[in-house]
Amino acid sequence: MSQEQWTAVDRYIAGHLVPSDPVLEAALQASEAAGLPAINVAPNQGKLLQLLAQSIGARNILEIGTLGAYSTIWLARAGLADRVELRLGPALDTLSKLAQEGVGPFDLTFIDADKEHNSDYFRWAIKLSRRGSLIIVDNVVREGGVIDASRHDSHIQGVRDFYEFVAAEPRVSITAVQTVGSKGHDGFAIALVIVDP
């Protein structure tokens, strides 16, 4: 299978199951107009995030890395669209402030920011969780870059560090799944927080 076929199948899936709507389309257009890279989640993945949030009855969601808010809209439409709060700035600073403010616990955290800090973000996500919270991490495969020994760039290393960290983290039960589609070959991890952090 080629990228072209993966994209066509994603189009088929979305055509049947994930109707596009003007607000999501407008977010993508605004992202493009602002010169943001087209690295938003695919529509069927956005819907998956929404289904996961709805299935756990999430009332409080943390997204680390928002880009043009495409995934934010999917998550907010899990019944929270009237109360989105955006905090702009280096996420590690924001996370530390959230903890100081006693914000949370969050029912679901979606980590989709710079990959270099993935394990730090994950550490914060656990801190800001409760037993039963979900933590989802995007881009944990990167076209297999994660196992490519010739890749030493910081963004791939950040993903590897994340695996090392979570493999030894007893507070979560976690898996990762490879995906192909309109955004290429990648994957996501889903963790369930199994103790009160």
The residues of the shown chain that bind ligand DHB, judged by CB under 6 A, are 39, 112, 138-139
- Taking the least distance from each CB to ligand DHB, the nearer of 63 and 138 is 138
Stretch that binds Mg ion, among 6-14, 105-113, 115-123, 128-136 (CB under 5 A): 105-113
- For 9, 10, 154, the CA distances from 1, given in Å and listed in that order, are 10, 13, 29
- Taking the least distance from each CB to Mg ion, the nearer of 36 and 103 is 36
Angle among Cα 114, 21, 37 to the nearest 5 degrees reads: 25
Q: How far is the CB of 107 from Mg ion (least distance, A)?
A: 20
- Taking the least distance from each CB to ligand DHB, the nearer of 171 and 185 is 185
Q: How far is the CB of 138 from Mg ion (least distance, A)?
A: 4
- Cβ neighbours, 10 Å, residue 40: 23
Nearest to 45 by CA among 81, 71, 9, 20: 71
User: DSSP of 28-46, one letter per residue?
Assistant: HHHHHHTT--S-SPPHHHH
Q: Which of 138, 140, 145, 156 binds Mg ion (CB under 5 A)?
A: 138
Binding stretches for Mg ion (CB under 5 A) = 112, 138-139
